[in-house]
Structure 1
């Protein structure tokens, strides 16, 4: 190795130190960049070949970039609800648009990965970070909380609308006083249930036995209505029944073509069935809201086809039928009353008028366990408030559900009396006369001497067919939880409501979104609900430090990094950002070393040049 080799080696040293200086300058420049991962410099010596070790000389040098992607930056909190940071391993899945069409981003399907979590909602409803990358995740059904699929996609939340959810369950926890303070107790005779704050059945217009106050309202049952067979265009197999003749002709078929023509319609409980003669068969579905269109030219479409469609709309489990004499019987089922209207001649030919109105049988009117309008004043004086909750029917209409507790027995009266309570809900706030005002929940709540609930043994009861005013809420499950209902002494003699909530809500429109510490995007809706909308997707790699850096703090997959693996051990922190992992003090130290090494290499070049000049002077 000679003087000229030394010159070349020094030049290589200058290049290597310049490469290091470039990395140092970039790290310092990005000291405040969100999610930035510094790049270090690794030096590698280049040893020239030699036949024997004793002739080996020091060689040149080259520099390589050394990634620090796995080094965590400092996580700090922010005031932006959609900012997020990953504590530990993992990357956000993102895509960057390749263009904009009709003001909407266009993607090529390439997924990149980033730790930069300064995401904010843009005009299109996407979460975009400061470098223009769009966040990916898996959408969640806001009503069930379950993921919709498992393939991440670019998230969008613009104009999300959540439908109404009917109340099905009420969470309730309360302490009932040992001696309730009721208005009727103060003037009652000593030793009576009324004096102990209880309810006296003899004070009511209808003499209720307190032991049967818990009898729930009778459930609804199916009711039927049968048409006139003389007008029915149907004849069973066998001889033609003259009673089924219409317009002087024997009708030996129950095909719909003999009854209906294209353009006829039938409206069942607000759902329309239309008839057509397209020859292409039936279209749509009879499932409410109905979009069914029945093809009258289809040979297999019979009167029973129509009845089955009607049963699907009403939801009855009791089929509507055609008898052996041709009489059509319609069933209401138990869920609602039956209302059918049609001006079609074919409908009238089935033995019904232009409209059918048939109410369900029974239901909703209990024989016992109610308070009528005439007894509201007495009931209010002999019971205490149990709180109120706003429930919702299937359309999202709010229903004010008022509760009251009445003590129907008291251990203060001596054995075998027990501390027993009945729960009532208000069925009609405007009830008068003999109309039902309050309905008993149908359960005797019995408490032991220590104030704990001994009966019922479960933590849930069902309020059957709850109707408040004209609003039907249906069956409600009341959940008390373990130890949620107690009877401890209370100085005020009133019920202390520890919890009363329900799971229904009205329809609502998305107002804002935020990211929680579980990595879920939570939407706040106009109906006051906070519902999970999406789960942020994160991935990790076996060779993290071999990812290819892209502009904006993103990374692309390489052969050395391996493919992305769904999930990560790191956790997402909402309203937080990960800062740069650059250590300024460390970079300044490297800067001094790099400067000194660069200067030293220039000295070698100066010395080598001097030696070459000395060699040239020998020839003078």
Structure 2
């Protein structure tokens, strides 16, 4: 050991500091490089061997590169949908093109790894980053989203084409008004289903209710006379008005001997205490004492017609019922007294005709009636098996209302338009075949299942087959609505026409999502990540890529890191830190040069001894 050893040690110091300066220079130069991982310098002392510690001297130095691959760079957002950044552990699997054949890139099959995520789609539909590395991943089925294999391959999305998908289900959410406003509701008789905004099957030539609805017998019908007044200032007649007119009576009172014929049965008006009524042999006569009231008379009439709904007087106007046993015919021998009740001549009214068996369809001849007694339920574009668009119109009809009292419930039927060009007896609208019933609070009580099947849906000549009509929990309600119309909150379907790929983007789950010409956004591929046991022992390649080494260990598919779409990871270089290192390196380098000049001076002094 001596002066010459000091010279050699100082030279080693200069070399090591030069090595450090080169790393600092490279780190500063790549301060803005996407995904760049800085290289630190590690110094190692070289101690010469000595027999005893007391004779040991400080040795030389050598420098080694120390990778910082595991140090995260800052992630920032971009406006490019195919840019990606990895948060945490992991690398993108990439390959470098070895050349092109017929404008198609060729690959050696060797996979490299990078954190540089500035990928963009090239002319061949590959995702290539700024350093020319091609992204790898696993393709997925665009309809199911299931992976098509598990080995990453170079991704390509050129001219991707998806076939049409038939509509098989509809998701629906709406509020139906508790009292619908229809074209007929404002002019309908109070207390009827029409007045409550509903649909009356008796208004149709063909019963539009489902086949399961049985034909009903003839129903009660009514006829109302004109408002009649009592004698003097007493006002309109009431059920308490006396028939004889002696006290607060009719303007033209009934007298003993008058008769009234109801459906062929004679009612005799008799003086008080008289039993002068005559009928056929063996039949008890029907007598009404002229001192009785109009209410008594109406009771006799109701008994003959057999109606369960009592005749009423409102504002002096009498309403008579046909009952269900036959048509109504009422005449009186005292025409003036009959007129005083608000009727003239012979009163006739037919039963409500019986309903025919339900077909569940609305024919074209009844279409206007149907439109007048129902409300719009929205519309959607569905698709048949060829991808042809089908305009599916929906309407709701309230077929029963709890406001009618008794056992009536709030019940609705859903219809869809089967043929917009139907005429005559051709089917224009079809009942979905399910009664939708709501409780008093407006919640759906039936059907209990959230989905029904509408069978064999056909619009014009376009067949959609069976459609699942799905209603999320609580999504179909019947609350009050000031407009009396349905409020459609959602109406979607799962079909689409065929489409061609227009663009791709990568979401935060690392899924490549394609946007197609038919408006669909479908999953096309999953970006693969890999990790290593010895990450910092990877071999750095040009362009921010890394190759596997023996010290790094093989690539392990999968990583704990997550992908952020439309983002980039910046360089992990800290400029302030590098400048500090630069100062220290410069001083160390200068100090080593001083050692050399000092050693040189000492050698010169030694040489001067020989003179």
Shorter-chain TM-score range: 0.7 to 0.9
Which stretches in structure 1 are left out of the alignment for 5+ residues? 216-365
CA offsets per residue over residues 232-280 of structure 1, 9 Å max, x none?
Answer: xxxxxxxxxxxxxxxxxxxxxxxxxxxxxxxxxxxxxxxxxxxxxxxxx
Match of 1:574 in 2: 565
User: Retained in 2: the 8 A contact 1:159–1:510?
Assistant: yes
Output the CA distance in 2 between the equivalents of 1:368 and 1:210.
Answer: 5
Output the CA distance in 1 between the equivalents of 2:594 and 2:145.
Answer: 69
Match of 1:560 in 2: 551
User: Retained in 1: the 8 A contact 2:138–2:527?
Assistant: yes
Q: 1:414 to 1:93 in 2, by over 3 A?
A: same
Q: How does 1:147-546 map to 2 (within 5 A)?
A: 147-208=147-208, 212=212, 368-546=359-537
Deviation at 1:449, TM superposition (A): 1.1
Output the CA distance in 2 between the equivalents of 1:90 and 1:178.
Answer: 58
Output the CA distance in 1 between the equivalents of 2:144 and 2:488.
Answer: 28
Q: Indicate the SS of the match to 1:431.
A: coil
CA offsets per residue over residues 312-351 of structure 1, 9 Å max, x none?
Answer: xxxxxxxxxxxxxxxxxxxxxxxxxxxxxxxxxxxxxxxx
Output the CA distance in 2 between the equivalents of 1:101 and 1:21.
Answer: 43
Query: Higher mean Cα deviation, 588-597 or 93-102?
Result: 93-102
Match of 1:67 in 2: 67
Output the CA distance in 2 between the equivalents of 1:565 and 1:512.
Answer: 31
Deviation at 1:582, TM superposition (A): 0.5
Deviation at 1:102, TM superposition (A): 1.1
Larger Rg: 2
CA offsets per residue over residues 141-200 of structure 1, 9 Å max, x none?
Answer: 111111111111000010111100000111111111111111110011111111111100
Match of 1:266 in 2: none
Q: 1:481 to 1:111 in 2, by over 3 A?
A: same
Output the CA distance in 2 between the equivalents of 1:67 and 1:470.
Answer: 69
Residues 1:603 and 2:594 aligned together: yes
Output the CA distance in 1 between the equivalents of 2:179 and 2:49.
Answer: 102
What TM-score comes out, normalization by structure 1 length? 0.75
Q: 1:213 to 1:82 in 2, by over 3 A?
A: farther
Output the CA distance in 2 between the equivalents of 1:207 and 1:382.
Answer: 14
User: Retained in 1: the 8 A contact 2:210–2:431?
Assistant: no
Output the CA distance in 1 between the equivalents of 2:536 and 2:430.
Answer: 69
Deviation at 1:556, TM superposition (A): 0.5
Deviation at 1:209, TM superposition (A): 5.7
Which stretches in structure 2 are left out of the alignment for 5+ residues? 216-356
Deviation at 1:488, TM superposition (A): 1.1
Match of 1:619 in 2: 610
Deviation at 1:97, TM superposition (A): 1.0
Deviation at 1:534, TM superposition (A): 0.6
Deviation at 1:211, TM superposition (A): 8.9
Output the CA distance in 2 between the equivalents of 1:89 and 1:411.
Answer: 64
Match of 1:40 in 2: 40
Q: Indicate the SS of the match to 2:578.
A: helix
Q: Indicate the SS of the match to 1:97.
A: strand
Deviation at 1:481, TM superposition (A): 1.0
Match of 1:138 in 2: 138
Q: 1:134 to 1:209 in 2, by over 3 A?
A: closer
- Return structure 1 stretches of 4+ with deviation > 3 angstroms: 207-215
Q: Indicate the SS of the match to 1:505.
A: coil
User: Retained in 2: the 8 A contact 1:539–1:568?
Assistant: yes
Deviation at 1:567, TM superposition (A): 1.1
User: Retained in 1: the 8 A contact 2:17–2:589?
Assistant: yes
Output the CA distance in 2 between the equivalents of 1:447 and 1:502.
Answer: 25
Q: 1:381 to 1:5 in 2, by over 3 A?
A: same
Q: 1:393 to 1:550 in 2, by over 3 A?
A: same
Output the CA distance in 2 between the equivalents of 1:149 and 1:367.
Answer: 54
Residues 1:101 and 2:101 aligned together: yes
User: Retained in 2: the 8 A contact 1:510–1:525?
Assistant: yes
User: Retained in 2: the 8 A contact 1:214–1:369?
Assistant: no
Deviation at 1:568, TM superposition (A): 1.1
Output the CA distance in 2 between the equivalents of 1:131 and 1:506.
Answer: 38
Deviation at 1:98, TM superposition (A): 1.1
Q: How does 1:20-59 map to 2 (within 5 A)?
A: 20-59=20-59
Output the CA distance in 2 between the equivalents of 1:210 and 1:583.
Answer: 76
Q: 1:157 to 1:573 in 2, by over 3 A?
A: same
User: Retained in 2: the 8 A contact 1:214–1:444?
Assistant: no
Deviation at 1:207, TM superposition (A): 3.6
Q: Indicate the SS of the match to 2:362.
A: strand
Q: Indicate the SS of the match to 2:35.
A: coil
Residues 1:120 and 2:120 aligned together: yes
Provide the alpha-carbon RMSD of the alignment.
1.4
Output the CA distance in 2 between the equivalents of 1:479 and 1:540.
Answer: 44
Q: 1:214 to 1:178 in 2, by over 3 A?
A: farther
Q: Indicate the SS of the match to 1:603.
A: helix
Deviation at 1:573, TM superposition (A): 1.0
User: Retained in 1: the 8 A contact 2:126–2:157?
Assistant: yes
Deviation at 1:545, TM superposition (A): 0.6
CA offsets per residue over residues 518-563 of structure 1, 9 Å max, x none?
Answer: 1111111111111111111111111111111000000011111111
What TM-score comes out, normalization by structure 2 length? 0.76
